Structure 1
Amino acid sequence: MRTFLTAMFIIAISGKQLYAQQVKSEILSPGATSTIFTDDVVKQINLQYPIRRVYNYQDQSGTYYLVLCESIDEIRKDDTLHQKINAVNLKKDGNSFTKTWELKDFINSNNASDGQELSIWFWTRFCEVKDLDGDGNIDPLVIYGSSIGNGYDDGRIKIILNYKGQKIAVRHQNSTMDEGRHIQVDEAFYALPQSIQSHIRTLMRTLSATGFALYPHGYEKAMAEQKLLIR
């Protein structure tokens, strides 16, 4: 029996090592991005906004490119403002690409008491392209947010996980007023493996610690109770 359990342990470890070898990801350089995403390719896959960043990743299901695009609507001395964003996930299929999923968003013209949102953009500092549950497939985690006249304080934050073909979101509204803050959690979030739930909760704490997020009081307890709307 002990020999059997030892063999099973070795097989499990070997499987994890094999998955680790199959899973790779990188951020493309501007040069590599322009070489792969030529004008013809951009037209073919219908990218409507300038490319901000491209992640190339490989897992046991194939080779992919996650392309983050942002419109450029105003260039200021200290900032560039974006009204629309688009993320497109592409699977390499020979010499062409197949779109597997995408997301779109735009500034909200009636978001908070402070007025219209000024800009929306991908928070690439926090985006991740990793295998979060160790099953040999990448689970892209895209984070973006918006700003108003007072910066992040009344803006929105969205955490979007693509897991096994399903987009699962945690949406948060910042506010300088306690009653203005709320979090919306997709029901599917609570069905995710605990390791992924913990990973996203850690990310949420990081967003708070770095000054990007102002959450409702007691939100962690509410998430532990699997609440969908937290105020």
Structure 2
Amino acid sequence: MKKIFSLLFLIHSLCGYSQKTESFALTKEEINQRELNEISDFPIYKAIEFSDKSGVYDLVFTENQKTISKKDTLNTKIQAICVMNDHGGFLEKWRINDLLEDYIPKETTIWFWTKYCSTKDLDGDGYVDPVIVYGSKTEYGEIRRVKIITLYKNKKYAIRAVECDLDHCRSFKKDQNWNTLPQKIKSYVDQLTEKLRKEQNLLLKDG
């Protein structure tokens, strides 16, 4: 009986270990060593390596840094690219692209909000569910757009918000497929949305 119990405990431990996920930021030296600059059109702002049951991945956040000054770095385009190392090369798993939009007041920069991005296993299935957050600002320094994109099984689920003082130009929309996400992931993003409201003084709601 003890042997059976020990065997079951060992199997349980091994299964638990196999579902462990890890994530850490890469240094500039590590980014160069991995030659990650080759996969991006723009300079890398930040890179994260994460691993789960399916393998080891590199996620790079890139911004085109169109205007660089002592006070500000302004971007007109951004890319987030997730790759898996594949026999010395890179196998792209997914990519996010965005750019300035034609609003009034004029948008002047778009950037990744990496303090709110995450690479965690949100539903406990052993696979990382990345959450990518980015925003845009107007020429007056006010936040205009906010996007929260969740990657679940390499498929994108987005929340798109437009901030505005007037009701008719404000919006907060979830993709039609949003409710197909596991409840744990939806709850995490709901909490993240509330955190953005409080910490950044955002409305994030429909008119």
* TM-score normalised by length of structure 1: 0.80
Query: CA offsets per residue over residues 124-153 of structure 1, 9 Å max, x none?
Result: 110001111110111111000000023234
Shift of 1:15: 7.0
The equivalent position to 1:87 in structure 2, one of 66, 80, 86, is 80
CA RMSD of aligned residues (A): 2.3
Match of 1:48 in 2: 41
1:219 match: none
Q: Specify whether residues 119 and 16 from structure 1 end up closer, same or farther in structure 2 by C-alpha distance, changes over 3 A only.
A: farther
| CA distance, structure 2, for counterparts of residue 79 and residue 149 of structure 1 | 12
Query: Post-superposition shift, 1:77?
Result: 3.1
More strand by share: 2
The structural deviation recorded for 1:11 is: 9.2
- Residue number among 169, 180, 185 corresponding to 1:196 in the alignment: 185
**CA deviation string 1:44-90 (max 9, x = no partner):** x3x11000111101111111101110001112332110000011110
Q: Which amino acid aligns with 2:37?
A: V
Residue equivalent to 2:111: 121
- Deviation digits for residues 100-137 of structure 1 (CA, Å, limit 9, x no counterpart): 110100011x22x32x2000000011000111111011
Stretches of 4+ aligned residues off by more than 2 angstroms: 9-21, 149-153
Say which SS state the counterpart of residue 209 (structure 1) adopts: helix
Deviation of 1:163 (Å): 0.4
Q: 1:13 to 1:205 in 2, by over 3 A?
A: farther
CA distance in 1, matches of 2:198, 2:117: 17
The whole-number CA distance in structure 1 between the counterparts of 2:61 and 2:70 is 24
Counterpart in the other structure of 1:151:
141
TM-score with structure 2 setting the length: 0.89
- Pairing 1:59–2:52 present: yes
SS in 2 for 1:160: strand
1:1-231 equivalences in 2 (<5 Å): 14=13, 17-21=16-20, 23-37=21-35, 42-43=37-38, 45=39, 47-108=40-101, 110-111=102-103, 113-114=104-105, 116-153=106-143, 155-211=144-200, 213-216=202-205, 230-231=206-207
**Which residue identity lines up with residue 28 of structure 1 in the other structure?**
L
**5+ long unaligned stretches in structure 1:** 1-5, 217-229
Distance (whole Å) between structure 2 residues aligned to residue 146 and residue 178 of structure 1? 19
Question: For the structure 1 residues 77 and 137, does the alpha-carbon distance in structure 2 shift closer, same or farther, using more than 3 Å as the test?
Answer: same
Matched residue pairs, number?
Answer: 202
Distance 1:81 1:57 in 2: 28
